[in-house]
Amino acid sequence: MSNLLLLLILLPVAAALVCYFVRSSAVRKLTVVANGAILTLASLALLGKGAFEPIAVGSFLGIGSDFLITVMDFALLGVIFFYGLKHKNLLIQGFTLAQAVLLAWFEFFVVEHAEVPALAGDQLSIIMVLVISIIGSLICIYALPYMKEHEEHLHLKTSRQPRFFFFLVLFLGAMNGLVLANNVLWLYFFFEVTTLCSFMLIGHDATEIATRNSVRALWMNSLGGLAFVIGMMLVYAKTGTLDIAAILAAGPQGALMVAGVGFICLAGFTKAAQVPFQSWLLGAMVAPTPVSALLHSSTMVKAGVYVILRFAPAFEGTFLSTGVAICGAFTFLACAALGVGQSNGKKILAYSTVANLGLIICCAGINTPLAITAAVMMILFHAISKSLLFLCVGTIEHAIGSRDLEDMRGLYAKFPRTAMITVIGILTMMLPPFGVLMAKWMAIEAGASNIYVIVMLAMGSALMMVYLSRWAGSLMASRAADAAPERQAALIRLPLMALAAAAVILSLGSPWIYNSMVAPMFNAPPFTLSFGSLDAVSGSFVVVPLFIVLGLGLLYAMKAASGFRKTRIAPPYVAGANTPADMDGTYIGPMNGPVAYAAGNMYLGELFAEGKLTPVFNSLAVALIVLMLGGAL
């Protein structure tokens, strides 16, 4: 087992080093594809073995693994401090120096370095490994042809791909280490590795805006790192152990320990870009599309929600639990509202991501079996659909030179495959019987006992429907019978098709995924499986019967639309002011002249103005976080 776990962590490290030092594009392509294939097989092998008890990791070259992690901790902080100096950012310098001082005191004068099993794996860890290894690998493979086109567009004389793929692939190993860690110090180390990787990837293009946003991401996540160290010290002061399994098994153990977990949750808030920390993730959209897809689906932000979910048993039934639920629900509502006024595809996906992460964190705060089930199912299905949509936006941007929704209008006419895959991705985010909507239904059912939470979740869900349905509708159009077929590189088409298929097929199999992977997490599972549906006291979510109805409806729609090219398409009716038939596409306007039709979406910019709402939401979020931590103390 230990060899399999180390393979999941160390193989991406080795592959990243090959990508960096061997400057051959052919070798890089082979390395990334092989790494993805092996990680996929290894994660499936881990799924086959199932949950396992914490295990120790031996020494490397005669040096203890815990000592190596300690050395790398300080080396990593040194690297981050160097970038703080390079960019003359006092916040990075201050937060990193504070971490180093506190960590040194903690490591050398406080901790009794008894052997703690370094790695462990329960159902949550295994699900996370599957998400990281499979979805993350598909994104890395997609990046191979994407980055070639990206650099051609930038007219670079010297390729930066070796460094780019070094951090992209390294991210996967760091995340696998994070979700498998059982020692709090190991968890902290991998938590900080993701901070450095995201900084380097966001600033990859080295433009002024990329550098500015990468620095902002670094100082915000360095604040999270400092909160993590403080929380770790407080938890250890009460429990006397760094063994995560032992800490969770004991449950809440008084104000000091709960306050420590509260600071760890604050670290998770920064990593998951919860309001008021959302600006670093919104700024990350300046990075190449594979970076955005990786950050939003299977690495950086999922590290934040994972940490909060992991420590949820340690604050169950406390005021902190209620505070986490309200903060998460508020982020869900705030970012759903901010997304309504956006027309930039990447920014819409960014706000949608932060909102759904807030929903997951809200579920961790509600802290019931039903809520935890909703959170885990949301992590899985959101990762698939959101990575698919980010890759679709990147593909569209390369095709039309824009990521604006208005420029995507009627995309199906020229790029039918990309448009249909994008629509599939959007539909799996918002409609039954797909997995994301199922998880939202579970979350709303779980939050029914808290009036503030249920109102925010209901309103946020409604607002999210507005901009997702608006986007899907904008893409559709008629396609000419003699239109040229759409061309895509094989390594672009493969991840898109695989993720689209996974979003549909895994949603169809969601009852069995729940039964085999999520239900074993609980002594009393919240759902029972019957006839392809999930049944509970709170209600039922019908999956397979709805898929049958959906399939029959799709067949009927395809048959009804099969003869559309034989029909005459009438122009829009504008109260009798249409021009004659030979001038289709215009209407009679001022001065009796023909005016071309123009369609456009409403973005309600005055009501959902980002510049006006963001300061208000940030202030309210800060107040909620202060109340949450104050109540824990």
What does the pLDDT look like over 434-489, one tens digit per residue? 999 999 999 999 998 899 999 999 999 999 999 899 998 888 877 766 777 888 88
Query: What is the Cα–Cα distance from 442 to 543, expressed in whole angstroms?
Result: 13
Q: Which amino acid is residue 407, in one-letter code?
A: D
What is the per-residue pLDDT for 566? 57
pLDDT of residue 568: 61
H/E segment holding residue 540: strand 539-542
In a domain, 543, yes or no: no
**Which distant-in-sequence residues (6+ apart) come within 8 Å of 370 by Cβ?**
442, 445, 446, 526, 536, 538
* Mean pLDDT of all residues in 249-261: 90
Distance from C-alpha of 607 to C-alpha of 587, rounded to nearest angstrom: 31
- Which whole number is the average pLDDT over 133-148? 94
pLDDT at residue number 583: 55
pLDDT average, residue stretch 109-121: 86
DSSP bridge pairs for 539 = 536
pLDDT over 80 at 197, yes or no: yes
Identify the pLDDT of residue 398. Answer: 87
In a domain, 175, yes or no: yes
C-alpha 17/C-alpha 321 separation (Å) is 41
pTM of the model: 0.94
Mean pLDDT across 401-418: 89
Q: So what's the pLDDT on residue 441?
A: 93
Answer whether residue 570 shows pLDDT above 70: no
Q: Is residue 359 a contact partner of residue 454, using CB atoms and an 8 Å limit?
A: no
Is there a contact between 522 and 516 (Cβ–Cβ < 8 Å)?
no
pLDDT given for residue 231 in this prediction: 96
* Token pair in block for residue 150: 């990206």
Average pLDDT (590-616) is 81
Which is higher by pLDDT, 62 or 564? 62
Beta bridge partners of 419: none
pLDDT in tens, 510-565: 999 999 999 999 988 999 988 888 998 878 889 998 899 888 888 888 777 666 55
- What is the chain's alpha carbon radius of gyration, rounded to the nearest angstrom? 25
Signed CA dihedral, 323, 328, 333, 339: sign only = positive
Q: Are 170 and 130 in contact (CB under 8 A)?
A: no
Asked if the structure places residue 558 within a domain, the reply is no
Average pLDDT over residues 30-47: 95
* 582 pLDDT higher than 60: no
pLDDT (average), residues 104-111: 91
- Give domain status of residue 97, yes or no: yes
Q: Which of 247, 359, 299, 259 is nearest to 140 (CA)?
A: 299
List the single range of 93-107, 370-384, 603-617 with lowest mean pLDDT: 603-617
Mean pLDDT on 203-223? 94
- Number of domains into which the chain is organized: 1
**What value does the mean pLDDT take over residues 224-247?**
94
Task: Determine the angle formed by the axes of helices 123-130 and 300-310, rounding to 10 degrees.
Answer: 170
Q: State the average pLDDT for the chain.
A: 90
CA 488 to centroid of chain Cα atoms: 25
Its domain, for residue 25, covers 1-57+66-247
Using the predicted structure, report yes or no on whether residue 391 has a pLDDT greater than 70: yes
**Contact, 383 vs 297, CB < 8 A?**
yes
